[in-house]
Structure 1
Amino acid sequence: MQLLEAIDVHADGLKRAACAAGPAAPVPNCPKWTVDELVTHVAFVHCFVVGLAVNRPAKPAPPPGWDDVLGWWDGQRLALREALSRDPEALAFSPYPGFASTVGDWTRRMAHETAIHRLDAESALEDGPKTRFSPEFANDGIDEFLTYLTPRLGNRADVRVTTPERTWTLGEPAAEVDGAADDVYRALWGRPHRASVTGDLAPLAAP
């Protein structure tokens, strides 16, 4: 699956789960959020990245009300696809001091941001779909988390991460994560998983 297509696929899955659960449903993967707050966050991020991708950063203002947020998000998804359909090597605005970003970087970031939050929306369902990510997509997500996102957030990465397909060793490993790529991907993002974890992953925590 191409990353631009992945944004659409996972956003569709997220929206299906969110609408089935309803706006007031709690999100077990993110205990501080309701489904409404989750969807508003995702819509905000998609809108924010539209501005970054076209070098016109702005602070989005999601509308109040569930139906209005869903409609606004639909519009932002169309705008996001158009903004990310540009040359992937084109420079884009970076909110991370000292780090450059390209359109391709934001495409990758949004593919994985949306995929992880799809899992969150599905966790709000009592009998939700058992989404699993392909090794190709999950390994790319692990690499994006460790080599792109972590340093830009200023987090310390002293970890060894192993899947059947790849190994990453960063710093002087104080923690190790081992398992199927899908489970390791979830573990790094602090979602339920079946990976083996030794040591503390807290220094890697993403917001």
Structure 2
Amino acid sequence: MARAADLVEREAGRLAAALRPEGLAVVVPGCPGWTLADLARHTGGVHRWARAALGTAPDGSPGGEPSGPPDDDAVPAWFAVGAGELVAALASLSPAAPCWTFAAAEAPATAAFWARRQAHETALHRWDAESALAAAGLAAAPDPATWLGEDVAADGVAEVADVMLPRQVRLGRTPALPGALALESPSGRSLLGGAGAPQPAAELRGPAPALLLLVWGRTTLDAELATGRLALAGSRDAAARLLSGALTP
């Protein structure tokens, strides 16, 4: 899983670079109620949890997510250690290595699940961190259309459609979508919802990085249509309705 480990390492490195001492108390618009230090505690805890899951049998339990150090100044170094341990674990394993996951029937219980999940988890929170610094006037704003590679972002959109949304429905966090919404980019096409639907009620087309931010709630349909980053075919009301649920945790 060298490429997956490289992706996690790259995104973790960019997030680590955003953990500047002067920015740790900055609020994170994409994660209401969190500061940048809180975001790093969460992501570092998830990295450690995923590392534990990689060493846990499919029918076992990796335990809970570590909470991280209470002192904000200690968070960047703690984050870097956890990211390094996760990258090393991913690089050492076959994608087919069995392990515990939370995906139930949506994906095989193998190390490949965590390689994919942590690449997208880390990338999204890197966006959150860079956007928070930009909102505070401490950095340039990332471009929603190019902040992540097309292929990686398209896989992130597919993960939401095929893994995250079905899990949300299975756990009762959101009802099954009343129809289907197609999401098409130069790198792929995914379908949100649509069990038994003859065709999508609407289709959104545009850069996969912008579509990924949309399905994770980091931007809105109105904003993306207003900027022209995304184009809509079909019913706008239907698209808004299908995007309004808790598609992700």
TM range (shorter): 0.7 to 0.9
Aligned to 2:245, what secondary structure does the other structure show? Answer: helix
CA distance in 2, matches of 1:20, 1:188: 31
**2:196 corresponds to 1:161:** no
Q: Residue in 2 aligned with 1:34?
A: 35
1:153-199: CA deviations, max 9, x gaps?
Answer: 33535321111332223413455432111211111111235334632
**2:126 corresponds to 1:133:** no
Please, which of 174, 178, 199 is the counterpart of residue 205 of structure 2?
178
Closer/same/farther in 2, CA of residues 145 and 20 from structure 1, 3 Å limit: farther
Q: Residue in 2 aligned with 1:92?
A: 99
CA distance in 1, matches of 2:22, 2:207: 29
CA distance in 1, matches of 2:104, 2:142: 38
How far has the Cα of 1:34 moved from its partner?
1.0
- Residue segments in structure 2 that go unaligned for 5+ positions in a row: none
Aligned to 2:140, what secondary structure does the other structure show? Answer: coil
- What amino acid is aligned across from residue 247 of structure 2 in structure 1? A
How far has the Cα of 1:204 moved from its partner?
4.7
How far has the Cα of 1:26 moved from its partner?
1.0
- Higher alpha-carbon deviation: 196-205 or 136-145: 196-205
Q: Residue in 1 aligned with 2:111?
A: 103
1:33-52 equivalences under 5 Å are 33-52=34-53
- Higher alpha-carbon deviation: 67-76 or 195-204: 195-204
Closer/same/farther in 2, CA of residues 45 and 130 from structure 1, 3 Å limit: same
C-alpha RMSD over aligned residues: 2.3
CA distance in 2, matches of 1:122, 1:160: 29
Q: Residue in 1 aligned with 2:244?
A: 202
1:137-165: CA deviations, max 9, x gaps?
Answer: 11111112211222223353532111133
1:113-132: CA deviations, max 9, x gaps?
Answer: 10011110001122335252
Aligned to 1:32, what secondary structure does the other structure show? Answer: coil
Q: Residue in 1 aligned with 2:158?
A: 143
Larger Rg: 2
**2:7 corresponds to 1:6:** yes
- What amino acid is aligned across from residue 182 of structure 2 in structure 1? R
2:157/2:190 contact within 8 Å kept: no
CA distance in 1, matches of 2:31, 2:208: 22
How far has the Cα of 1:98 moved from its partner?
4.8
- What amino acid is aligned across from residue 58 of structure 1 in structure 2? G
CA distance in 1, matches of 2:156, 2:19: 23
CA distance in 2, matches of 1:2, 1:78: 15
2:24/2:72 contact within 8 Å kept: yes
CA distance in 2, matches of 1:8, 1:129: 22
CA distance in 2, matches of 1:159, 1:5: 32
- Higher alpha-carbon deviation: 60-69 or 192-201: 192-201
Deviating beyond 6 angstroms after TM superposition, the runs of 4 or more aligned structure 1 residues are: none
1:88/1:103 contact within 8 Å kept: yes
2:206/2:231 contact within 8 Å kept: yes
- TM-score, normalization by structure 2: 0.74
Closer/same/farther in 2, CA of residues 28 and 148 from structure 1, 3 Å limit: same
1:50-93: CA deviations, max 9, x gaps?
Answer: 11111061222422111322222222112211221211111111
How far has the Cα of 1:95 moved from its partner?
3.0
Aligned to 2:204, what secondary structure does the other structure show? Answer: strand
Aligned length: 207
1:2-49: CA deviations, max 9, x gaps?
Answer: 221111111111121231652110112223221111111101111111
2:21/2:73 contact within 8 Å kept: no
